[in-house]
């Protein structure tokens, strides 16, 4: 007579396996149910034909594009008209010395007490070897009708302003109609580039 095998332990193993599998399926299902749904791509900023699935463009690094500032020291006449005094202005700095000279002269011409006659016209400006060359229109001498002081204030108002405001300028050469001049009205020598004074009283 054949011996009957006891199958009770085998049943326990099978039941335990079924329970483990069922618990695993339940955990997976609960994990998916608890996860928040992914938001659909936004149409708010999408343009015509734009790919909504495309990765957003990376942000560019911030760049400091602040305009450099230059400090202009304007040499203008005081209330008595007998002495040059200084006024400070801060403006955007042009990239070239010639541009800086032009900017300084523009502000000098518009300043209260400017020694420049209202109709003075500068035909050309350039800077070379530490000298600012200013080419004025032919009628400049006739515009300086205030005698020796008018010419002195005009010349040294410009020289003081440019040499103290533009680092590349140490002296100023005055030209009229493209040509060097010995003087404008006979009181100030302009044969060579004019350098700043130590005393600005006239």
CA 28 to chain centre: 60
Taking residues 109-135, what's their average pLDDT? 95
The mean pLDDT of the chain is 81
Q: How confident is the model at residue 149 (pLDDT cuts 50, 70, 90)?
A: confident
Q: Which residue has the tokens 């405001």?
A: 165
Q: Quick one: CA dihedral 151, 80, 112, 102, positive or negative?
A: positive
Q: Which residue has the tokens 């599998």?
A: 21
pLDDT 10s digits, 16-57:
666 766 666 776 655 665 555 555 455 455 455 555 455 555
Whether residue 153 contacts residue 163, with contact meaning beta carbons closer than 8 Å, is answered with no
**pLDDT over 90 at 98, yes or no:** yes
Per the rule left: phi > 0, alpha: psi between -120 and 50, beta: everything else, 186 is left
- Residue 1 is encoded by which pair of tokens? 């007579």
**pLDDT over 70 at 68, yes or no:** yes
Q: What is the edge-to-edge ordering of all strands in the sheet holding 131-136?
A: 122-128, 131-136, 171-176, 179-180
Give all domains of the chain, ordered by start, each with its CATH number.
Answer: 69-180 (3.30.300)
Residues in contact with 95: Cβ distance below 8 Å, sequence separation at least 6, in sequence order: none
Taking residues 55-68, what's their average pLDDT? 63
* Beta strand residue intervals within the chain, DSSP E: 69-77, 84-92, 122-128, 131-136, 171-176, 179-180
pLDDT 10s digits, 162-200:
999 999 999 999 999 999 999 998 888 999 999 998 776
């Amino acid at each position: 007579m054949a011996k009957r095998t006891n199958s009770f332990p085998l049943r326990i193993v099978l039941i335990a396996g079924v329970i483990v599998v069922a618990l695993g399926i339940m955990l997976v299902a609960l994990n998916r149910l608890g996860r928040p749904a992914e938001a659909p791509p936004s149409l708010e900023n999408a343009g015509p034909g734009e790919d909504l699935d495309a990765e957003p463009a990376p942000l560019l690094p911030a760049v400091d594009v602040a305009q450099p500032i230059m400090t202009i020291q304007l040499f203008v006449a005081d209330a008595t008209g007998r002495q040059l005094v200084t006024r400070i202005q801060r403006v955007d700095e042009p990239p070239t010395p010639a541009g800086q000279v032009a900017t300084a002269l523009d502000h000098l011409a518009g300043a209260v007490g400017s020694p420049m006659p209202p109709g003075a016209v500068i035909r050309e400006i350039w800077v070379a070897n530490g000298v600012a060359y200013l080419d004025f229109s032919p009628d400049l001498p006739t515009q300086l009708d205030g005698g020796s002081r008018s010419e002195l204030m005009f010349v040294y108002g410009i020289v003081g302003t440019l040499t103290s405001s533009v680092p590349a300028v140490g002296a100023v050469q005055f030209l009229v109609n493209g040509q060097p001049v010995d003087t404008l009205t006979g009181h100030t020598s302009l044969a060579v580039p004019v350098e700043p004074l130590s005393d600005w009283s006239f």
